[in-house]
Structure 1
Amino acid sequence: MKKLIIYSLFLILAQSYGQELNLPVYTQYLADNPFVISPTYAGIGDNLKIRANGLTQWVGIKDAPDNQSLYADFRIADRSGVGISLYNDKNGYTLQKGLKVSFAHHLILDYYSKQYLSFGISYNLNSFRIDIDEFRPTYETPIIDPRVTDDRSISNNNFDVGVLYRNKGFYFSLNANNILPKDIDDYVGIEPDLLLNYQVYTGITLQSKLNKKLEFEPSVFFQYFDSDNRSSTDINIKVRKYDRREDYFWGGISYRFLNDQFFDPLNLGPMAGIKKSNFYFAYSYQITINDLIGYNSGTHMITIGLDFLQGISNCPCTQTPVH
């Protein structure tokens, strides 16, 4: 039991160490919201799209990570779009809030073969602090350090950039996040000043030859952290079924692993969702496949969405990718 507690604390502290301006990506992007990953998706679609996510990780473990986020993007011209995201993240006694403001521009490479190229940029503002109100005396430390007089709060600014290529149902997105070094305390040697990480998201939407209302969407999401060379990969598959009114429901599964441990997955999770008129709902569940599996009931995520102000663009480069 002692080893398990130490292992649990290591995971939580490790995530806190890399948490600032590096909010973990779970499966939010699979809930018909790739804007979670890349600013290049801002404005692609025929609506003002809003997606709210609520995520609770490692249910059953005290002070496990908890996250809420809100994403919205819409088209401002035939070839351009803007977006905004807000998030609130708690991990043990560390708290952070932030926002991203994004802009994307979309180009036609070839009209007849439906090849498009998109560029995006995001400005990030992040506030990070330690909730010292939760500190309590223990047997080993009967008196809280009197030098801790504030929340050690700090704010940072940064930028993300990305490029997206689309060819009919195929898509490939490459993003560089937090491209600027972070201001750090020169007297503390354990804080990383480089938060740069790269993300690749690619996949293809295939229409069933037997049923035109049925689509399959395999995809891969890769993330690499430049500071310590960590990397992970998601392998996903979704199946989407439409009705006569172009509403749909879908189901899928995601398999996440560290890239040097393919047969030792971090998470394995089913997911499902439905879109009815302008309303969207999705649920995702991730099983934690490590020593913590016996002490928590997994990670649960809910996505609720609304689409407003439908208006088809005159440029196919921003028309909805969902048929």
Structure 2
Amino acid sequence: MRKNIGLSVLVLIITASGLRAQQDPLYNLYSFNQYMINPAYAGVYNNFSANLITRKQWAGIDGSPLTNLFTAHTSVGDQFGTGILIVNDRLGINNNTEAQLSFSYKITSGSKTLALGVQGGVVGYKYDYNKLNLAFVDDEGLDMNNDGFSKANFGAGAFYMTDTYYFGFSVPRILNAKVNDGVSTSTRYLPHYYLSGGFIIKPRLTHSVLFKPSFLVRYTEKQVSADISINALFANTLWAGLTLRNFDGVAINTQIQVNRAFRLGYSFELPTNQLVQSNFGTHEVSLLVELNLFKDHFDIERYF
């Protein structure tokens, strides 16, 4: 009961303030699929890739974030790529659904690839005020007549990689999402900027293990967060590693190559602040499929 009341108060505060702290969905397994944060990644490898991810954050707390993500992208010839991204993100009274189409162009020289990408689509925002436990129903800061709206948006990104390292920069949704209720205008979403990078370390003493340190920095107005990760690949089959998120959460990440086409991933995250006492952690499950659908597609060992 205490959790329900606490979450309702939290959601009410967020809603009444115009959702100025609204964030993009968080993920832990993005290091195996940069497309979820960067449209330039579409078709960067010469194959078809589809990814399904389910993430439950702060399990055990009623109304905590639940995110379902589906992505599919493919190369088209040697220089182009295209893809689709669909996300449903739920938090308390919020239920947001997004659909984006992306296109990319890549320039390859030997082992070096520079890809530029754009995406565009629609984000639908919905609010279920029946989930609120309100102490006062006449709060002037809460517009309960506005239960949803949709906004078009677009984004862009760049991705550069070699055999041993990569860098990416993207703004998946460039436009603010503003709503006018007839009295005032509130901003429900601010653009997020992503900077990512990583590199491969292959120890000389063994060929069965390699390491991939990586980072991701997110920036939005007056707010910066960062992930620092280290993953290891064993026998070219099993990934295992750790992610430190903004110094207030730590995650264990794994991915196994079941066969040439299928990869299964799982991540378990715990906060290092006071939230650790009130939930059962964050769980993220991933199914990644890679296929050669066209004549110019081929098998490749990829680490990014």
> Which interval holds the TM-score relative to the shorter structure?
0.7 to 0.9
- Secondary structure of residue in 2 paired with 1:191: strand
Residue 292 of structure 1: how far off its partner (Å): 1.6
Q: 1:75 to 1:292 in 2, by over 3 A?
A: same
User: How far apart in 1 are the matches of 2:170 and 2:94?
Assistant: 27
1:195 matched to 2:178: no
Matched with 1:235 is 228
SS in 2 for 1:192: strand
Kindly state the Cα deviation for residue 8 of structure 1 after the two structures are TM-superposed. 8.4
Asked if the contact 1:181/1:194 (under 8 Å) is kept, the reply is yes
Task: Return the alpha-carbon distance in structure 2 between the equivalents of residues 177 and 87 of structure 1.
Answer: 13
Segments of structure 2 that go 5 or more residues without pairing to the other structure are: none
Distance 1:177 1:183 in 2: 17
- Counterpart of 2:255, as a letter, is G
Match of 1:262 in 2: none
SS of residue matched to 1:222: strand
Letter in 1 for 2:223: R
What corresponds to 2:241 in structure 1? 252
Contact 1:12 1:92 in 2 (8 A): no
Please report the TM-score for the alignment, with normalisation by the length of structure 1.
0.81
Residue 19 of structure 1 and its aligned partner are, at CA, apart by 7.0
Superimposed CA distance per residue, residues 143-187 of structure 1 (whole angstroms, 9 cap, x where no aligned partner): 999x98866210011111111122331111111232223342165
Aligned 1:30-41 pairs, distance under 5 A: 30=31, 32-41=32-41
Q: Paired residue for 1:82?
A: 82
CA distance in 2, matches of 1:4, 1:93: 12
Distance in 2 (alpha carbons) for counterparts of 1:47 and 1:239? 24
Matched, 1:155 2:144: no
Distance 1:190 1:284, change over 3 A: farther
Task: Flag the 1:208–1:2 CA change in 2: closer, same or farther, 3 A.
Answer: same
Tell me if the contact between 1:44 and 1:320 (Cα under 8 Å) persists in the aligned partners.
Answer: no
CA contact (8 A) 2:212 2:230 kept: yes
Structure 1 residue 17 corresponds to structure 2 residue 19: yes
2:262 pairs with 1:279: yes
TM-score (norm 2): 0.86
For 2:128 and 2:93, how far apart are their aligned partners in 1? Answer: 5
Match of 2:61 in 1: 61
**Structure 1: which 5+ runs fail to align?**
258-264
Cα contact 1:135–1:144 (8 A) shared by 2:
no
Supply the RMSD in Å over aligned alpha carbons: 3.4
Contact 1:313 1:319 in 2 (8 A): no
| Residue number in structure 2 paired with 1:298 | 281
C-alpha change, 1:6 and 1:63, in structure 2 (3 Å) is closer
Contact 2:56/2:66, CA 8 A, preserved across alignment: yes
Q: How many residues align?
A: 300
Question: CA separation in 2, counterparts of 1:129 and 1:237?
Answer: 37
Q: Alignment partner of 1:207: what SS? A: coil
What's the counterpart of residue 266 of structure 1?
A: 248
How far apart, in 1, do the equivalents of 2:3 and 2:303 lie?
48
Deviation at 1:250, TM superposition (A): 0.7
2:272 pairs with 273, 284, 289, which one? 289
Identity of aligned residues (%): 23
Shift of 1:313: 4.3
Instruction: Summarize the Cα distance change of 1:194–1:57 in structure 2 as closer, same or farther, 3 Å threshold.
Output: closer
User: Matched residues in 1 for 2:281 and 2:188: separation?
Assistant: 32
Distance 2:143 2:191 in 1: 30
Q: Confirm or deny: 8 A CA contact 1:44 1:319 kept in the other structure.
A: no
- How do 1:19-168 residues align onto structure 2 when only pairs under 5 Å count? 22-30=23-31, 32-108=32-108, 110-111=109-110, 114-134=111-131, 140-141=135-136, 152-168=147-163
